[in-house]
Structures are given as structure tokens and as C-alpha cells.
Amino acid sequence: MKKKSKKEDVKLKFNSSWEYAPAPESKDHVKINSSYDLFINGKFTAPDSGKYFDTINPATETKIAKVADANEKDVDKAVKAARNAYDNVWSKMPAKERGKYIYRIARVMQERARELAVIESMDGGKAIRESRDIDIPLAAAHFFYYAGWADKIDYAVPGSKSRSLGVAGQIIPWNFPLLMAAWKIAPALAAGNTVVLKPAETTPLTALKLAEIIQEADLPPGVVNIITGAGATGAALVNHPGIDKIAFTGSTDVGKIIQKSIAGTGKKYTLELGGKAANIIFEDAAIDQAVEGIVNGIFFNQGHVCCAGSRLFVQESVMDTVVRKLKDRMETLIVGDPLDKNTDIGAINSKEQLGKIKQYLKIGVNEGGEMYQSSCALPSKGFWCRPTLFTNVSQSSRIVTEEIFGPVLGIQSFRTVEEAIEKANNIPYGLSGGVWTDKGSKIFKVTSQLRAGVIWANTYNKFDPTSPFGGYKESGVGREGGLHGLMPYLELV
Ligand code: ADP
């Protein structure tokens, strides 16, 4: 047996103080079918394609269920159902009645919150703490919030009248499956539109559970249609002539394809795309609080967040302290079973995504970056990545300019406020950012000059349905959340 070095001994002792007995969330109350059809016109319907694909648990690599793969004919059926429901039911219904249905969806979501949280963690790999405490409550909160707007649309823009657009085609990614569905569906319905939603191919299950909830809430058939499939299904939805508006969250590459394909069609669109958020820590910041915020911003949720704080700028005088404290804190993070309530970092969403992250780790090292990973043990099956940080990186390093979508942090130093702002803005993305300082004046200066849609001060990743979210530059077009998120589903007349 290899003799342990003194350093390893210290690490083991340090880790042992953080060992917890397993505390897995129960799966007994969860019902998952072995096969799911498409949710069209209020019913689960077998796909015209006759094809199905597997959705797997990324923590165990086992199949959870098979899910229908919608082709163009299926998309057409869903869009026609949505159009019919729009023309004959939803657009004619008094707004306060629409509001009641949306409230009902919110309430059933709350009632089934535990079930939804477990399924979200099984299908997507995120730690149950995240899905239980953040994703599901926030998703329900979005339905509650927009339900309140349904009968107040006339007051949304004082002095003008507005009307709904018609049928919205909505495409969402795999990082916040149910929450993204809520961000899309709730404002669309409140504004009087009907919907065809396509969840991501690796995380379709909570959207399909939402279809069951929609049935339970007795929403008129066709108002919400949920179709599953991969990129080709998404493209068919984008290109369908019966769609009035596209709402997309996903990669900048696909966002650009969508923009090109709908150019000149008159379809309205909102795009929430990639990000490469900068956190800036000034020497006067509460360092422990900042370190906790950085860890929350990039490591929790496996870095699978478009607003993940993946770039860190630290004022030179506190650089060593911040890096040391970050490494200490990383060493305590528990990577493993997403259903365990102690887990900090769950599984990477898919084998493909893990491959992409590993590729970036190699690139970082080859570019001369100094890589540090925590020493935690990883489960033998499933897709995992230890929390990772890079120092000795530059503004041109690919790991600090490209979106990795994994628990990988690139750290650089700065000396002046101006330098920090310049460096943080030197990127094609502009979704979010964070500033850590004791001085209010610095917060105002930095937040007013950072070119990003959302900037948190002395905190990170805080969300609320009343607050708009969206990007500058290649991070997207339009806002979701709040009144701003309602407007892209309305037309002023
Ligand atoms: P990510 O990198 O987060 O997976 P993608 O942009 O690839 O982001 O995927 C986000 C969503 O867009 C998924 O639901 C995916 O199936 C869908 N999608 C992928 N390609 C296309 C396309 N060409 N047109 C429309 N939707 C697409």
C-alpha cells in the first residue's frame, strides 16, 4: 500500500470532520410511468413518429423512462391545438377566469412539491436541496405571481390597451427544467396566449408532470401543449408558420440559429442565452461572506446555471486570502447522490456535458492555468466533476471567455475599480454579475458600469418572480420575470 504523505493525512483529518451519515430523500411517494406520450389538446397522445427516447438518471446511468420523440406532424398537431384553444376558448375567456386557472396550477404544484423535487433531482442530477428549496418553490411562485397579473393587464401600461399575441412556441434547457417551464408558461397564459412547450431532451420529466398538473387543474384542452424531442423538434416548432412568438432559453449558438430562421417572418421572440458572469471581490469586502457567495454562484448546481459566477476578479491585496479560503471551503463540499440531503454538488447532467467540461479542464491546463480540485471521493457510477478552480489565467484564456456550464472557476486579480470593470466587461456575454464590497458608492459605480442584465451586490443567485432577468450582448434579447416578462407576450394597440 502506498504510504500516505503528510499533506494527504491533513486532508483526510480535515474531511473526516465533515462526514455525515447518508440522508437520502424518499422516492416512495413518486410515481413515474415507464413511458410518456406527447401532451396535446389536454391528452397524452402517442407520437406520429412512433419513436421514443430514453431519459436517464445521470447519477446512476440507469433509464428512468422512455419519452416520445415528436416529429413535424406532431408539432403541427400541437400548434393547431393551441391555435384552436386560443381562438375559441382562451382569448374569449374573461381575464379573471384565466387567472383562476393559473392560481390552480400554482396550488397543485405546491401540493406536489416533494414529488416534483425528487423527480427533478433524479432526471437532471441536481442536489435535492436545490430542487426542493429553490427550483420547485420558485416555479410555483411564478405561477402565483403571474396569476395575479391576468386581470390587471389593462393597468400594466397606463394609457394604452394591449392584446395577446396568439400561440407561443417555448423551448427550454436542462438546467432548471420545471422553473424554466414556469418562467415561460405563466406569463404567456396570464397575457392570454396559448402555448406549445418543448423541454430539453435530457430533462423532460417534470414538464410531463406539469402536464398532469395542468390536467388536474382542468385547464381547457389545448391551452398548454407539451411536446418532447431534441433539437429537430425545437427547430420544427420555431419554423412552424402558426407560431406568433418564440421564447427560448439555451445556448447562444442555438439562439443565433433561431434568430436567423425567424428573420423576416414577423414572429416575436425573446432569447435568454449563455453567460460568463464576473464576480468582483474588493479588498474591503466581508471576505468569508464573499467566499460563500462565490461557492454558491459557481459550485452549487454543478455550475449548470447560465448566470453562474464562473469568472472571479479579486483585488490583488486580498487575492491570497480569498484563494486560500476558497480552497478550504471547496474541500468541505460534498459531491454525490443528488437525493441525499447533505449533498452540495450533484451529478453533471449528461455524459456529453461531462465530456465538454473535461475538455475545458484540459484546455485550461494546456493554456498554462494552475488547476486545483477538491479531493473528495466520487461515486463509481454516474457523471461527476469535482469543484475546480484555475489561477494563473489571463483575459484571453478560453476557460475564462467561453461558457463551460460546469463547476469550474477562473480567478484573476485586479488593482483598481476601473480595471475590474474593464476586465469584467471584456466578454461577448452580459447576463449577470456580482460585486462584493463594504462601500455603497463602489456598488453604485460598478453596477452602473457593468454591462450585464442582473447584478447582485454582496449576495448571489437570488431570484424572485417580480424581478426581471435577461441579458446584454450575446446573452440574449428581452426579459423574463416581473412586468418586464409579461410585456413580450403582449402587443400594444
Ligand atoms: P444547452 O447547451 O443548454 O443544451 P441548447 O441550446 O443546445 O442548450 O438546448 C436548449 C434547448 O434548445 C433544448 O430544448 C434543445 O432541444 C433545443 N434545441 C437545440 N437545437 C435547436 C434548434 N436548432 N432549434 C430549436 N431548438 C433547439
Q: Whose C-alpha lies nearest to ligand 1, atom 24?
A: 235
Report d(CA 202, CA 435) in Å as an integer.
34
Contact 467, 422 (CB under 8 A): no
pLDDT class of 159 with cuts at 50, 70, 90 = confident
Which ligand 1 atom is at minimum distance from the Cα of 254? 6
pLDDT class of 84 with cuts at 50, 70, 90 = very high
CA of 234 to the centre of ligand 1 (A): 7
173 lines ligand 1 (CB under 6 A): yes
259 lines ligand 1 (CB under 6 A): no
CA atoms in the 13 A half-sphere facing the CB of 132: 17
Say whether pLDDT at 4 is over 50. Answer: no
Three-class secondary structure of residue 45 per DSSP:
strand
Nearest to 247 by CA among 316, 162, 187, 322: 187
pLDDT score, position 268: 97
Angle at the Cα of 138 from the Cα atoms of 135 and 139, rounded to 5 degrees: 80
Beta partners for residue 44, in sequence order = 39
Q: Which three cell numbers stand for residue 299?
A: 459550485
Task: State the pairing for strand pair 472-473/429-430.
Answer: antiparallel
pLDDT score, position 80: 98
Say whether pLDDT at 468 is over 50. Answer: yes
Buried-state track 135-145, b at ≥16 Cβ within 10 A, e below 16: bbbbbbbbbbb
Share of the chain above pLDDT 70, in %: 96
Report d(CA 139, CA 18) in Å as an integer.
32
Say whether pLDDT at 11 is over 90. Answer: no
Answer positive or negative: Cα dihedral of 436, 441, 442, 448: positive
Say whether pLDDT at 469 is over 90. Answer: yes
CA of 248 to the centre of ligand 1 (A): 9
Q: Which three cell numbers stand for residue 133?
A: 428549496
Q: Around Cβ 241, how many Cβ atoms within 10 Å?
A: 8
- Rounded mean pLDDT of the chain? 95
Say whether pLDDT at 198 is over 50. Answer: yes
Nearest to 102 by CA among 150, 152, 44: 150
236 lines ligand 1 (CB under 6 A): no
pLDDT score, position 155: 87
pLDDT score, position 7: 47
Q: Whose C-alpha lies nearest to ligand 1, atom 14?
A: 200
466 lines ligand 1 (CB under 6 A): no
Summarize the confidence of residues 81-93 as an average pLDDT. Answer: 98
Which ligand 1 atom is at minimum distance from the Cα of 258? 24
pLDDT score, position 18: 57
CA atoms in the 13 A half-sphere facing the CB of 339: 18
CA of 19 to the centre of ligand 1 (A): 39
Report d(CA 27, CA 48) in Å as an integer.
33
231 lines ligand 1 (CB under 6 A): yes
pLDDT class of 8 with cuts at 50, 70, 90 = very low
pLDDT score, position 493: 87
Report d(CA 133, CA 9) in Å as an integer.
35
CA of 69 to the centre of ligand 1 (A): 14
Chain segment 122-132, per-residue pLDDT in tens: 999 999 999 99
198 lines ligand 1 (CB under 6 A): yes
Q: Whose C-alpha lies nearest to ligand 1, atom 20?
A: 231
pLDDT score, position 62: 98
417 lines ligand 1 (CB under 6 A): no
Amino acid in the structure at residue 337: D
230 lines ligand 1 (CB under 6 A): yes
pLDDT score, position 157: 82
Report d(CA 223, CA 195) in Å as an integer.
6
271 lines ligand 1 (CB under 6 A): no
Say whether pLDDT at 324 is over 70. Answer: yes
Query: Domains, the chain, ranges and CATH?
Result: 35-273+475-492 (3.40.605.10), 278-465 (3.40.309.10)
238 lines ligand 1 (CB under 6 A): yes
CA of 475 to the centre of ligand 1 (A): 15
Report d(CA 276, CA 287) in Å as an integer.
22
Mutate to test the pocket of ligand 1, among 71, 123, 171 (most ligand atoms within 8 A of CB): 171
Summarize the confidence of residues 339-343 as an average pLDDT. Answer: 96
Q: Whose C-alpha lies nearest to ligand 1, atom 19?
A: 231
Mutate to test the pocket of ligand 1, among 203, 254, 348 (most ligand atoms within 8 A of CB): 254
| Active-site residue set | 272, 306
Say whether pLDDT at 442 is over 70. Answer: yes
Chain segment 398-420, per-residue pLDDT in tens: 999 999 999 999 999 999 999 99
Nearest to 435 by CA among 226, 294, 300, 245: 294
Say whether pLDDT at 433 is over 60. Answer: yes
pLDDT class of 20 with cuts at 50, 70, 90 = confident
Say whether pLDDT at 13 is over 60. Answer: no
Chain segment 286-303, per-residue pLDDT in tens: 999 999 999 999 999 899
pLDDT class of 19 with cuts at 50, 70, 90 = confident
293 lines ligand 1 (CB under 6 A): no
Residues 6 or more apart in contact with residue 416 via CB below 8 angstroms: none
254 lines ligand 1 (CB under 6 A): yes
pLDDT score, position 245: 98
CA of 260 to the centre of ligand 1 (A): 15
pLDDT class of 6 with cuts at 50, 70, 90 = very low
Amino acid in the structure at residue 334: I
Three-class secondary structure of residue 448 per DSSP:
helix
Which ligand 1 atom is at minimum distance from the Cα of 175? 3
Three-class secondary structure of residue 218 per DSSP:
coil
Q: Whose C-alpha lies nearest to ligand 1, atom 27?
A: 231
CA of 150 to the centre of ligand 1 (A): 30
Please, where are the H alpha helices in 265-379?
Answer: 287-298, 319-331, 351-366
184 lines ligand 1 (CB under 6 A): no
CA of 169 to the centre of ligand 1 (A): 13
Chain segment 219-263, per-residue pLDDT in tens: 999 999 999 999 999 999 999 999 999 999 999 999 999 999 999
Which ligand 1 atom is at minimum distance from the Cα of 230? 16
Residues 6 or more apart in contact with residue 221 via CB below 8 angstroms: 41, 42, 43, 81, 85
